[in-house]
Every structure is written in C-alpha cells, then in structure tokens.
C-alpha cells in the first residue's frame, strides 16, 4: 500500500511514517516546513518528502492519505482530497488498525513524563528480551530511534491527550485500547483545545472506558484529577504508584529501593536527576510487571538507562559554566526540572532560560504561575518573541532575579555576561529555541578567550 502523510515532520506522524515503511508500505509525505531532525530521520529511511501542501500532490495517487492533527480545514491539499472523495484517515486511527490491533498495547498517558516513562518502559522490555515495538515522542539515548515495529507481541505507545485530527476531535489515546495503561498525572494543559481541566478529565475517562476488565491501570496515587477520572467509572484492575499501599520508593533520587506493598523488589542506581524521574521509574516497573517482567530485572535495566534527549541533557561546559537542555514548558514541569537540578547540583547558581512556546503558554493561560515555577532559580531569562502578552510584567514578582528579551541574541549576551564559573544554565523549551544551547556555549567560550 502507498500512503501519503500530511504533516509528516511532526514527532508522532514521523514515527507513524517509520512504522509504516518498516511494515512494507510505500511511504511519502509532506509538511509546511520539511525540517530536521525528523526530516533527516525520514530521508535516511528513504522516505520522499515534499515541501508544502500543494494540491498537485493528488497526482501521487496514494492508496490512503494519512492526515496529521496539525492540518486543518482550509489546507489546500486537504481540501483537494475532500473534493476528490479520496480515502483518508488520521495517524492514531492508522496506528490502531495497522499496528496495535495485533499487539498487547502498553500506553503511557499524563500531562508530564510521558516520553520519559514510555522510553523507560520500552527499554525495560527490550532488556528483558521481549523485543517490543514502540512509538515515543522523543528519542531515548539507549533506544536510538523514536519508533520501531519490534518483533514481539508488545507495543509501547506514548498516549497523548491532544486531539486526533481535523475530522476527529477525540484525544489520540482513545484509539489505542491498551491492556496496560499508565496514568502518570493530570493537570490543565492544551488551552488551545480544552476549556478547562474537567474537559481533559472527560477524555481520560473515555480512555478508561475502552479498557477491558482484564486490563490494568497503573495510576499515580497523589492526583485528585485522576481520582475523579476513576470515580466516573473504572472496569479494569488498578494499581497505584507513589504510595505504601502500591508501588513506592525509599532512598534518594539517584539511589533508591523499589517497594511493592512494602516489600523490596529491586534497587535503582543511576545518573538521572529529579524526583519526577524516580516516580516515572516506579510507573515503568509497575507496567512491566503486568506483562511478566520481574521487578528486580526491571530495576537492573533502569540502572543502565541513559535518559531521553532533551530531558535534563547535558549539552556542554564552557568557561566553568554548564549548559543543560530540557523539554519543560508547563509551569509544573519547569518547577520540577529546576528542583531536580538543584538537588543534583547543590553548589553553584541555577540560571533558568525559558521559551513560552507551547500553545498553552503562547495564549498566556498560565503566565501567572511562572514566578512560582521559577522561584528556585537564582536568575531567570525569558524569551518573549511572538507573545501577545507581557512576559516582563508576568515575571515582575521575581524582581531583579528575572529578565525578559524579545531578541534572542540579546538574551544570549545577557546570560553570558551574568554567568560565572560554577553556574548551571538550564534551557527549557519544547522547540529548538534558535539553537540557543550552542550559542550560549560559544559566547561563554569567546568570553574565556577574550580574557586570554
């Protein structure tokens, strides 16, 4: 079958493309901007990419058009497909019908930690010899790719609550019908499509409604929102993590025992930072146990887990200043990431550099939470380009500890001027942020060279 994917350079749709090609289909695709890293990954697979959405692509005559959720009504190619009455589907629907229908699906959902927990789970299963398939919204350093068909019966999917496509406004994860599902946490997000937290809870309720009685939910113990979801109806087994009555941890974030109902199951010693990663580990171990992986073996695998790119990733050091990269963009994730770095790097200041780039942040829905989220940083630098609200005003409660810039080079120069040896610069964005990580390292190197 020949499938042509609209919006192919998104992380999810690029993963769908890789899976389809591995399954033997001919795959082509298009996007408004054919950009790396996904463009490079797809081209390495031999997938033909077309720039833009010109209706002339109808001449390709694919058997099926797969439409990403970034493609809306009014898109010229989509309108031509509809006018021609040609067959189309969404990415999640294609995945469900052509990949997941034959597999035991392990889905990881939640506002935070989906990519990391999915990567941990896929790594555990791989190390246990289960050869899982996976589709994850990031690249674990250990796995090397974001998507793989695998050879076994198991498939790990990062289960996103964002909507499916122009023709299907349900959350993506409703399509997956998992037999094992992790519900990591639940907060308000995606202000561009959800009016409030209750609307997101309804989508999570819809996910729970699709699961069999013999399926298992692995649910965070400290989430009132997830409690409300389960109270609306739950027909599957439930295991909790983060509490003594379920799966819990004893020890610090980089060396801890995993307990189940108070009994020791294994020990994890690793280099990952943050309490959130310890919680992610509990969820992954619990989910793996449902498919028969001994918790001790899962803990041993996690001790070798190197982490996910752009999740507290060390990017380099120059003139005595470390630069880290993290995907954090929601205020809770920003606060948690800063706290994790603070515990791991007790000495030296933290300089938080962030870009409010997600749709929710661009709308200003959570601007009032930024001062609290950044409170543990010694200095904060925000990138205000493209915002319709006043970032400097939002950061005003932090006083002289926070600065706002609309020019990226001015932001880089400001950070480089104020950073001093022993400092840790933490860059947070869900985008490329103009290559700021290397620009900061270069500026710091020039500073050192200028001193001779």
What is the count of structural domains for the chain? 3
Residues 269 and 323 in one domain: no
Residues 110 and 257 in one domain: yes
CA distances (Å), origin 404, targets 117, 314, 373, 383, 391: 33, 24, 16, 6, 7
> Is 242 part of a structural domain of the chain?
yes
> Is 237 part of a structural domain of the chain?
yes
**What's the pLDDT tens digit per position in 48-86?**
999 999 999 999 999 999 999 999 999 999 999 999 999
First to last CA, the chain: 62
Residues 128 and 168 in one domain: yes
**Residue 22 CB-density burial (10 A; 0-12 exposed, 13-18 middle, 19+ buried):** middle
Predicted pLDDT of residue 287: 98
> Is 330 part of a structural domain of the chain?
yes
Predicted pLDDT of residue 431: 75
Residues 190 and 338 in one domain: no
Which residues of the chain, if any, have pLDDT below 70?
A: 35-37, 309-310, 360, 452
Report CA torsion sign: 185, 188, 193, 199: positive
Residues 229 and 354 in one domain: no
73: number of Cβ within 10 Å: 9
Residues 146 and 241 in one domain: yes
Predicted pLDDT of residue 155: 98
178: number of Cβ within 10 Å: 28
pTM: 0.81
Selection from 126, 132, 181, 190 nearest residue 158 by Cα: 181
Predicted pLDDT of residue 193: 79
Distance CA 393, CA 372 (A): 14
Predicted pLDDT of residue 452: 66
Distance CA 260, CA 282 (A): 10
Selection from 225, 315, 322, 308 nearest residue 274 by Cα: 308
> Is 408 part of a structural domain of the chain?
yes
Residues 165 and 255 in one domain: yes
Q: Torsions phi, psi of 258, nearest 5?
A: -100, 125
Domain boundary among 302, 321, 341: 302
310, 326 contact by CB (below 8 A): yes
Residues 66 and 115 in one domain: no
Q: Which residues contact 154 (CB under 8 A, 6 or more apart)?
A: 103, 104, 106, 125, 130, 131, 132, 133, 291
Residues 287 and 321 in one domain: no
Residues 414 and 342 in one domain: yes
Is omega for the bond preceding 37 within 30 degrees of 0, making it cis?
yes
Range of the domain at 120: 99-302
258, 241 contact by CB (below 8 A): no
Residues 108 and 197 in one domain: yes
> Is 307 part of a structural domain of the chain?
no
355, 386 contact by CB (below 8 A): no
Domain boundary among 280, 302, 324: 302
Question: What does the DSSP assignment read for 90-152?
Answer: EHHHHHHHHTGGGSEEEEEESSSSHHHHHHHHHHHHHHTT---EEE-SS-BTTT-SSEE--SS
Distance CA 298, CA 301 (A): 5
Question: What does the DSSP assignment read for 238-294?
Answer: EEEESSTTSEEEEEETTEEEEEETTEEEEEEE-S--SHHHHHHHHHHHHHHHHTT--
Predicted pLDDT of residue 309: 67
Q: Where is 216: in which H helix or E strand?
A: strand 216-220
């Amino acid at each position: 079958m020949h499938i042509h994917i609209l919006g192919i350079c998104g992380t999810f749709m690029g993963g769908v493309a890789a899976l389809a090609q591995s399954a033997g289909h001919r795959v082509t695709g298009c996007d408004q901007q054919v950009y790396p890293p996904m463009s490079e990954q797809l081209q390495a697979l031999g997938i033909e990419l077309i720039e833009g959405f010109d209706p002339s692509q109808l001449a390709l005559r694919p058997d099926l058009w797969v439409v990403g959720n970034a493609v809306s009504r009014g898109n010229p190619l989509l309108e031509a497909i509809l006018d021609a009455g040609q067959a189309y589907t969404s990415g999640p629907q294609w995945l469900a019908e052509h990949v997941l229908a034959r597999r035991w699906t392990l889905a990881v959902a939640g506002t935070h930690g989906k990519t990391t927990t999915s990567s941990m789970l896929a790594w555990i299963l791989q190390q246990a010899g289960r050869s899982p398939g996976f589709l994850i919204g990031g690249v674990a350093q250990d796995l090397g790719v974001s998507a793989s068909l695998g050879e076994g019966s198991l498939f790990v999917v990062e289960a996103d609550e964002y909507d499916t496509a122009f023709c299907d406004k349900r959350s993506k994860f409703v399509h997956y019908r998992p037999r094992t599902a992790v519900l990591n946490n639940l907060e308000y997000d995606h202000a561009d499509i959800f009016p409030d937290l209750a609307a997101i809870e309804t989508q999570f309720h819809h996910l729970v409604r699709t699961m069999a009685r013999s399926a298992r939910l692995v649910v965070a113990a400290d989430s009132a929102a997830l409690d409300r979801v389960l109270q609306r109806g739950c027909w599957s087994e439930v295991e909790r993590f983060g509490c003594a009555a379920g799966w819990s941890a004893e020890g610090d974030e980089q060396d801890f025992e995993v307990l189940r109902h108070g009994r020791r199951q294994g020990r994890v010693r690793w280099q990952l930072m943050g309490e959130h990663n310890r919680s992610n580990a509990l969820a992954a171990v619990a989910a793996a146990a449902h498919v028969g992986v001994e918790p001790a073996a899962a803990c041993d695998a996690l001790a070798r887990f190197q982490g996910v790119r752009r999740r507290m990733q060390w990017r380099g050091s120059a003139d005595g200043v470390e630069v880290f990269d993290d995907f954090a963009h929601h205020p809770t994730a920003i606060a948690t990431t800063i706290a994790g770095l603070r515990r791991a790097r007790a000495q030296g200041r933290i300089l938080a550099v962030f870009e409010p780039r997600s749709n929710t942040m661009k709308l200003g829905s959570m601007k009032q939470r930024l001062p609290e989220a950044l409170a543990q940083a010694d200095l904060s630098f925000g990138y205000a380009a493209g915002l319709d609200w006043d970032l400097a005003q939002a950061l005003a409660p932090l006083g002289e500890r926070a600065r706002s810039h609309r020019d990226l080079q001015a932001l880089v120069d400001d950070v480089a001027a104020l950073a001093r040896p022993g400092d840790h610069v933490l860059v947070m964005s869900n985008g490329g942020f103009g290559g700021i990580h290397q620009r900061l390292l270069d500026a710091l190197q020039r500073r050192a060279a200028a001193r001779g």
